[in-house]
Amino acid sequence: MRIALLGGTGDIGQGLALRWAYDTSHEVLIGSRDPEKARNKAEEYETELDSRGVNAEIKGFENAMAADRADVAVVAVPPYHVSDTVEAVADRLDDDDVLVTPAVGMKSDEEGLHYHRPGAGSVTAVAASAAPDGVPVVGAFHNLAAGRLADLDADLDVDTLVVGDDGDAKETVTTLAERIEGLRALDAGPTANAAEVESLTPLLINLARYNDGMHDVGITFH
């Protein structure tokens, strides 16, 4: 399977790219608005993997070209770029593809971070509204600490919650998620439940801020 990380030069994109390349045989593509930046980051990820004895080929492309080649496209951009990014690659997607969004809307003040709920109800819903008809959108990977994800020496042992309205698409994302060692995917229901899932992210960041030793805190459900 080919996985494209659109905006894969950022923190969450880096972590997912490294983990999938390290733990699986899936082909990983890095997308960016700047194709040269994508290629440079792809080479950087290859170097990191090579240092660990993993001979992985990661290619970099402009976002639309990465999406065109992918079976699953992860929109790994900040929430205010999600709609524009999806619309920019829309003509490269078809009904067999799956779009994934890990983005969370947040705002900050002196006390910490707070969930910033978009008018559509959630960032997952924003992505679904921008996606072409027939292309399923799944929300996942919202609550993962990017630094911990990108540190291949770190044991994850965390859960990710998966939301979406297409059962087959959620199953695809669940399978991909659980191919990452130490990551368990749990079904959190339809897109209507995405706000509750996304709102956990600022909570985790606030816990990390106010408690020593919890910089890369995650969630595990028992």
Tens-digit pLDDT profile for residues 11-68: 999 999 999 999 999 999 999 999 999 999 999 999 999 999 999 999 999 999 999 9
pLDDT (tens digit, 9 = 90+) per residue, 70-116?
999 999 999 999 999 999 999 999 999 999 999 999 999 999 999 99
What pLDDT, in 10s, does the model give residues 56-74?
999 999 999 999 999 999 9
Mean pLDDT of 139-158: 96
In one-letter notation, the amino acid at residue 127 is A
pTM of this prediction? 0.96
Mean pLDDT of the region 208-212 = 95
Domains of the chain: 2-210 (3.40.50.720)
Beta bridge partners of 109: 112
Q: Assign 3-class secondary structure to the chain.
A: CEEEEECCCCHHHHHHHHHHHHHCCCEEEEEECCHHHHHHHHHHHHHHHHCCCCCCCEEEEEHHHHHHHCCEEEECCCHHHHHHHHHHHHHHCCCCCEEEECCCCEEEECCEEEECCCCCCCHHHHHHHHCCCCCCEEECCCCCCHHHHHCCCCCCCEEEEEEECCHHHHHHHHHHHHCCCCEEEEECCCHHHHHHHHCHHHHHHHHHHHCCCCCCCCCCCC
Q: Which strands, in side-by-side order, build the sheet including 98-101?
A: 58-62, 27-32, 2-6, 72-75, 98-101, 137-139, 158-164, 183-187
Q: Is the pLDDT of residue 215 over 90?
A: no
